């Protein structure tokens, strides 16, 4: 009888041990700004005008990312994050997807939320998608997200939530944008009834609502893809008025948009705390590319959005989490946006495919350990209008070919010196290096001594140029052609066929 009791007790003890809940999977909150420059956050601001207290608090008590890179423009960055592969592999490395373009992230790529769904996560996308929406099965609800609230395409007018039929950039460039149509969705439904409210007020409130209603025992992935501070430059007065007027049209509004974004970050953080999710959350903030050239938002870095210079691809970023082992420091290790796919997948308990371009950088961020990568492909495009390779290996960076990424969208870049340095108006007397690069050429920089990319070493170091080009050839071997089909405005016309809304189903 005594032996029987011992056996029963042992069985119960073993059952209790194996029944103990394992380590809880973390909530993953990825905050992605849209066209926000290097100096838009307080910790990089050289003149002390920006007001981003919530981001600053998270960064100063977390980890500031000082050598983290994105792609030069938005669609490629999103493709990299969602797939774990450099965007040229999915054909999306050339330019952004236009509303009437039958282009999309191919379903042959299993995207991050699809993996996380298998690991027990609930996934939400709040904000823009911009990975194709000409048919339903390539939109968020068919790619692992449980909800999507926001636009499918690249940007919207904030109060009407509409976008032009053909050319996203035409309004900015003073051209006729054509007819406009609504692009704001609550899952599959068009959202007409909120017109008149700033779209970022809507998305900020939805993100907080999602967190507040979430069962904290279930791991959550929230991809908050801000519309801010992408043009058109419009913001409620209370944010614009945080900044003094400046003699640059739109800049006061732009800065106010950054502060509006920052307030939303604070609201999201408070919601995580209130719902008992914060202690088990990982919060990441990056921008999808650099800021607009003409505002000086990336000063003192060279170039800006849509270029592979540092001002176009070096992203202001931070990671904040109670799960970090080391906090309150600046991380100078090499990290690329593509790395967050395997990093998040590993945190969630998954096993990343070793063939991914991305590397798991959690240990690098959490402890300050050396990065698992020594090189990164910053841009690769074989489209005939803008062929270019940009690669970093150690401290050396090579730009070879046409550095104006936006050339397919508008030829205005042919007349625009996008390779220069753009100081903010407060530094209008700043010394600008008298250096320009040919629109097609080869440039080599040693960033360890020349982080502003002033001194082109290509002629002095031909062997280093050849070495980096050979490395790029190895990485890009077998690259598919860019997936950049012609626009189909007649078939896609939302006003002719779809009741004035951008609606999938026409390709």
pLDDT at 4: 46
83: pLDDT strictly greater than 90: yes
What tokens does 265 get? 């970050």
17: pLDDT strictly greater than 60: no
Give the confidence band of 164 by pLDDT, cuts at 50, 70, 90. confident
Q: Which of these, 397, 331, 395, 386, lies nearest to 363 by C-alpha position?
A: 331
Residue 42 half-sphere exposure toward CB, CA atoms < 13 A: 12
pLDDT at 178: 59
409: pLDDT strictly greater than 90: no
CA 216 vs. chain centroid, Å, equals 26
Q: pLDDT by residue (tens digit) across 351-360?
A: 999 999 999 9
pLDDT at 294: 86
What tokens does 392 get? 């970093």
Helices (H), 453-493: 462-476, 489-492
DSSP state of 229: T
3: pLDDT strictly greater than 80: no
Across the chain, what does the average pLDDT equal? 92
Between 98 and 242, whose confidence is greater?
242
Rounded Cα distance between 430 and 348, Å, is 47
What tokens does 453 get? 């990319």
Give the confidence band of 5 by pLDDT, cuts at 50, 70, 90. very low
Instruction: Print burial letters for 308-324: b (CB count within 10 Å at least 16), e (below 16).
Output: bbbbbbbbbbbbbbeeb
What tokens does 479 get? 């690259």
Mean pLDDT of 126-145: 98
On the question of a cis peptide bond just before residue 472, with omega within 30 degrees of 0, the verdict is no
304: pLDDT strictly greater than 90: yes
pLDDT at 170: 54
Out of 207-221, 336-350, 376-390, 489-503, least confident range: 489-503
Rg of the chain taking only CA atoms, in angstroms? 23
Degrees (nearest 5) of the Cα angle 249, 255, 256?
Answer: 105
14: pLDDT strictly greater than 90: no
254: pLDDT strictly greater than 60: yes
Q: 3-state SS string over 18-80? A: HHCCCCCCCEEEEEEECCCCHHHCCCCCCCCCCCCHHHHHHHHCCEEECCEECCCCHHHHHHH
305: pLDDT strictly greater than 70: yes
Q: pLDDT by residue (tens digit) across 169-208?
A: 554 445 455 568 999 999 999 989 899 999 999 999 999 9
Give the confidence band of 49 by pLDDT, cuts at 50, 70, 90. very high
Rounded Cα distance between 290 and 207, Å, is 24
pLDDT at 493: 87
Are 373 and 336 a contacting pair, CB within 8 Å? yes
pLDDT at 8: 40
Beta bridge partners of 127: 225
Q: Which of these, 46, 70, 128, 22, lies nearest to 378 by C-alpha position?
A: 70
pLDDT at 189: 93
Are 302 and 310 a contacting pair, CB within 8 Å? yes
pLDDT at 22: 53
Give the confidence band of 495 by pLDDT, cuts at 50, 70, 90. confident
Strand pairing report for 63-65 and 329-331: parallel
Q: pLDDT by residue (tens digit) across 306-346?
A: 999 999 999 999 999 999 999 999 999 999 999 999 999 99
CA 15 vs. chain centroid, Å, equals 45
Degrees (nearest 5) of the Cα angle 257, 258, 264?
Answer: 90
Look at the chain and count its residues: 507
Using DSSP, how many helices (H) and how many strands (E) does the chain show? 13, 18
Find which of 184-188, 485-489, 497-501 is predicted with most confidence, using mean pLDDT.
184-188
Q: Could you give the residue numbers annotated as active site?
A: 74, 130
Rounded Cα distance between 154 and 175, Å, is 18
Mean pLDDT of 501-507: 94
Mean pLDDT of 272-286: 98
Out of 150-159, 344-353, 439-448, 495-504, least confident range: 495-504
């Amino acid at each position: 009888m005594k032996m029987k009791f011992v056996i029963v007790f042992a069985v119960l003890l073993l059952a209790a041990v194996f029944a103990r809940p394992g380590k809880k999977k973390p909530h993953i909150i990825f905050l992605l700004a849209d066209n926000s420059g290097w100096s838009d956050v307080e910790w990089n601001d050289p003149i002390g005008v920006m007001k981003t207290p919530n981001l600053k608090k998270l960064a100063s008590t977390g980890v500031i990312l000082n050598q983290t890179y994105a792609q030069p423009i938005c669609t490629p960055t999103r493709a990299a994050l969602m797939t774990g592969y450099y965007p040229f592999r999915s054909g999306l490395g050339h330019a952004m997807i236009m509303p009437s373009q039958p282009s999309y992230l191919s379903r042959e790529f299993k995207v991050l939320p699809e993996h996380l769904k298998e690991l027990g996560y609930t996934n939400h996308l709040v904000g823009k998608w911009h990975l194709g929406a000409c048919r339903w099965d390539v939109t968020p609800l068919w790619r692992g997200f449980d909800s999507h609230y926001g636009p499918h395409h690249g940007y919207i007018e904030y109060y009407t939530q509409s976008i032009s039929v053909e050319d996203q950039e035409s309004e900015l460039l003073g051209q006729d944008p054509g007819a406009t149509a609504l692009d704001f969705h609550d899952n599959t439904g068009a959202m007409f009834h909120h017109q008149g409210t700033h779209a970022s007020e809507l998305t900020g409130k939805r993100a907080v609502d999602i967190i507040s209603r979430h069962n904290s025992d279930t791991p959550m992935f929230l991809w908050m893809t801000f519309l801010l501070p992408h043009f058109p430059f419009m913001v409620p007065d209370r944010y614009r008025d945080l900044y003094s007027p400046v003699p640059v049209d739109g800049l006061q509004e732009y800065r106010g948009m950054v502060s509006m974004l920052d307030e939303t970050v604070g609201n999201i953080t408070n919601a995580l705390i209130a719902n008992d999710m914060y202690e088990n959350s990982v919060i990441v903030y990056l921008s999808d590319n650099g800021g607009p050239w003409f505002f000086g938002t990336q000063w003192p870095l060279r170039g800006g959005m849509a270029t592979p210079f540092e001002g176009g691809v070096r992203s202001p970023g931070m990671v904040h989490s109670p799960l970090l082992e080391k906090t309150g420091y600046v991380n100078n290790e090499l990290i690329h946006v593509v790395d967050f796919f395997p990093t998040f997948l590993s945190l969630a308990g998954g096993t990343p495919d070793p063939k991914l371009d991305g590397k798991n950088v959690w240990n690098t961020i959490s402890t300050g350990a050396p990065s698992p990568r020594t090189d990164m492909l910053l841009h690769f495009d074989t489209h005939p209008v803008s062929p270019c390779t940009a690669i970093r290996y150690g401290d050396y960076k090579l730009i070879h070919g046409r550095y104006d990424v936006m050339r397919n969208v508008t030829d205005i870049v042919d007349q625009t010196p996008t390779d220069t340095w753009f100081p903010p108006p407060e530094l209008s007397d700043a010394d600008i290096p008298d250096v320009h690069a040919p629109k097609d050429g080869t440039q080599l920089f040693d960033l360890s001594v020349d982080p502003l990319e002033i001194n082109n070493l290509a002629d002095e170091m031909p062997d280093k140029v050849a070495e980096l080009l050979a490395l790029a050839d190895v990485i890009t071997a077998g690259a598919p052609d860019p997936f950049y089909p012609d626009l189909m405005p007649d078939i896609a016309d939302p006003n002719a066929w779809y009741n004035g809304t951008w609606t999938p189903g026409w390709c």
